[in-house]
Structure 1
Amino acid sequence: MRADTVRDLCLADRRATAADALAGGGAGAVEAIVRELTDASSPVDWRHVAPVLRRIGATAFEPLVRALVEAGGEEARERVGAAFMRLGEESLDRYTAALSHPAPLVRRQAVRGIRYCDEPGPSALHALLPLLGDADEEVAVTARDVLMDRGPGLGEGLARSLREIRREGPGRARARALSVLAAVGGEPALSAEDLAAVERLIRVKALDECPVALWACWNHWIAVPGGDRDGIMETLGLTGPRPVTFALGNDIVDSDAHDAGAGGVEALTRVFVTPELDGWTFVLGAWCDPCSEERSEEVLRLCTRLSARYGKAQAYYYGAQGDGSAWLVAERGTVLRRYCETGEGEDELLTLGEPLPFERARRAELGLNPEWDPAQESDEDEEDWRTAAFDLAPELARALGVSPLDIGPDTRARGTGVVALTPYGVARSVPTGAYRV
């Protein structure tokens, strides 16, 4: 098989003809493809050849294994490996057999091959368990990550095997088995001994930890003055508080915010309630979102109640990846302002109250009319304001009190933070996951 035929895969007008020729070329075609993958000067990469190798089928597997072992440089190994791990479900049994290959690179790429199968099935995932204690650290970590990603839903059988590793070893697999257990089954999957050990670790770390900035890709929080954590939780209807470190609380709400971004209602099941920080208590989590369709009206009602009890209450959303801002400010039982600028078509329908002094001042800085009327704004002025408002939530929070995004070692802290269940969490199971303590 000529190299030109493989290189024709790079050309849109020749790709289909070349693919058909190679797919029918058997071992000779595989040999030609491997030569191109191991040639750093070749324009061919895995995107061009993976569909063809899948069509060739079983004949492609062993030549790719040999190429992984024999490839002369890192770039060549990466190119071959990328194609090897995308051979698809037809190679699942071969991937599973390759988990015991003497070369760590082959074992690692076989694990990744299982990950890329749409439906690897319980037997293939169970075959990864011995690799949690693999002598090669990268192989072991890759096996852990695949099990954490693909293991949820496998049920008690996988959890039972992981608990056995926790009890019986090998020792180098125990820590990774715990991470997988937490990811696939959550707290209910942990043994009583493991659960007690985690709780003990949290208590020890919380004794002398310093506050850290509470930061996620999507940040949602309610801010209330003072340190009446229990009273705030009572007003919000939060239950089941469990002590957490700052790292653990932040990791949980960050993970849940990603689920919320994907539309998952399960992301609304819990929140992180901080200690009193520079005179404010924060409730963080997607459940606190003042502008989502699911939560906006309830958050408005809750902030109104909180402000009647504590004088003030504020709710914010800030998308740190350029996803906009929203704020809700209530005082003494009255909502003063709600405003959203997230790029969504219904943002303007959530606007309540008159612009805050901070908003007026920012508009003046931009050379815009502080007393603006959106109906009379020029398109250019409206765009200038929207661009500025997209990132305004943290600044507004700072101006009206404290932003949890600014917390640091110098922040005055009093009390202990907890993760608590929302009413959603009482009615549903909370998401599983392995988090930093």
Structure 2
Amino acid sequence: MDISMGDEPRRLTSCWLYWIAVPTGDQAGVMATLGLTQPTPVTFAEAETIIDEDGHGEAEGNPDGLSRVYVSPEVDGWTLVIGWWCDPCDGERDDEVLRRVTELSARYGRAQAYYYGAQGDGSAWLIAERGAVLRRYCATGEAEDDLFTLGEPLPLERARRNELGLSSSWGKAVGNDEGGSEWKSAAFHLAPKIAAALGISPLALTAETRVRGTGVLALTPQGAEAEPVT
């Protein structure tokens, strides 16, 4: 385990959490595909603080959260990239995130991007395999949510709706069916469950998580063009 003694893997979270998950330990390759540069080693403890600061827009020099991301070491066979820059349903950057996640899936077989608002602010997920998008869905309560929908519902989505007694086929928008309020409430909390079911979630890391390598803080393309983040 190439991390500092006493620095154990830990749950990485924030009130507003955005991340990309790739089934590989090729940290350098993931960074190259995403255009991330200037990696600086950080511990899990440091990453926890940075992720929370960036998620709240409190980091000096990074008020919009787009300048930097945390790139994990290999955790249970996966690499996580965490930061606002990974948001799959940002109205200004959704096309870029979709493209980059699709490129990762072409290189590594699969790739995913998620958003989760731990204070009841919703969920979003983007699932790609072998260079193609299988699903993108946003459940944040915004009027634009339906504009992001791509692909067919995931098995976990259908299963959750069946548990609620709702049809497994429905319209694009969160509330666009007879059980809209029930589905909205359920969908708001699905991102961590989908991430864990399909691979790994930063919310599920523990001291027992298998780790190889060292996590880094890296600049995004936007960050590389801006003033240094302190």
Distance in 1 (CA, whole Å) between partners of 2:74 and 2:103 is 19
Equivalent residue, structure 2, for 1:414? 212
Which gives a bigger RCO, structure 1 or 2 (Cα 8 Å, sep 6+)? 2
Equivalent residue, structure 2, for 1:307? 105
Residue deviations 1:71-109, cap 9 Å, x none? xxxxxxxxxxxxxxxxxxxxxxxxxxxxxxxxxxxxxxx
Matched letter for residue 338 of structure 1: R
Counterpart contact for 1:335–1:353, Cα < 8 Å: yes
Give the gaps of 5 or more residues in structure 1. 1-203, 433-437
Aligned partner (choices 26, 44, 64) of residue 228 of structure 1:
26
Cα offset for 1:431? Answer: 4.2
SS in 2 for 1:355: coil
1:238 paired to 2:16 = no
Aligned partner (choices 207, 210, 230) of residue 8 of structure 2:
210
Counterpart contact for 2:54–2:63, Cα < 8 Å: no
Cα offset for 1:280? Answer: 0.7
Equivalent residue, structure 2, for 1:348? 146
Distance in 2 (CA, whole Å) between partners of 1:344 and 1:320 is 16
Equivalent residue, structure 1, for 2:162? 364
1:382 paired to 2:174 = no
Counterpart contact for 2:170–2:176, Cα < 8 Å: no
Residue deviations 1:226-283, cap 9 Å, x none? 10000000000000000000111121121111118xxx76420000000111111100
Residue deviations 1:301-349, cap 9 Å, x none? 0000000000000000000111100000000000000000111111110
Counterpart contact for 1:268–1:286, Cα < 8 Å: yes
TM-score, normalised to structure 1, is 0.49
> Residues 422 and 372 from structure 1, CA distance in 2 versus in 1: closer, same or farther, beyond 3 angstroms?
same
Distance in 1 (CA, whole Å) between partners of 2:56 and 2:171 is 35
Matched letter for residue 19 of structure 2: W
The root-mean-square deviation of aligned C-alpha atoms, in Å, is 1.9
Matched letter for residue 417 of structure 1: G
Distance in 2 (CA, whole Å) between partners of 1:252 and 1:374 is 35
Aligned partner (choices 63, 78, 89) of residue 280 of structure 1:
78
Counterpart contact for 2:13–2:51, Cα < 8 Å: no
Counterpart contact for 1:250–1:272, Cα < 8 Å: no
Moved runs in structure 1, 4+ residues, more than 3 A?
377-380
SS in 2 for 1:206: coil
Distance in 2 (CA, whole Å) between partners of 1:379 and 1:430 is 47
Counterpart contact for 2:149–2:172, Cα < 8 Å: no
SS in 2 for 1:424: helix
Distance in 2 (CA, whole Å) between partners of 1:291 and 1:350 is 7
Matched letter for residue 350 of structure 1: F
Counterpart contact for 1:267–1:431, Cα < 8 Å: no
TM-score, normalised to structure 2, is 0.92
Counterpart contact for 1:235–1:306, Cα < 8 Å: yes
| Count of residue pairs the alignment pairs up | 225
Equivalent residue, structure 1, for 2:193? 395
Aligned partner (choices 65, 68, 86) of residue 270 of structure 1:
68
Counterpart contact for 2:171–2:177, Cα < 8 Å: no
Larger helix share, 1 or 2: 1
SS in 2 for 1:416: coil
The 5 A counterparts of 1:56-75 are none
Distance in 2 (CA, whole Å) between partners of 1:206 and 1:216 is 23
Cα offset for 1:378? Answer: 7.3
Matched letter for residue 89 of structure 2: C
Residue deviations 1:149-193, cap 9 Å, x none? xxxxxxxxxxxxxxxxxxxxxxxxxxxxxxxxxxxxxxxxxxxxx
SS in 1 for 2:56: helix
SS in 2 for 1:212: coil
Cα offset for 1:206? Answer: 2.0
The 5 A counterparts of 1:75-154 are none
Distance in 2 (CA, whole Å) between partners of 1:429 and 1:217 is 26
> Residues 378 and 278 from structure 1, CA distance in 2 versus in 1: closer, same or farther, beyond 3 angstroms?
closer
Larger strand share, 1 or 2: 2
Equivalent residue, structure 2, for 1:427? 225
Equivalent residue, structure 1, for 2:114? 316
Residue deviations 1:204-240, cap 9 Å, x none? 9724421000011110000000100000000000000
Cα offset for 1:370? Answer: 1.1
Counterpart contact for 1:212–1:409, Cα < 8 Å: yes
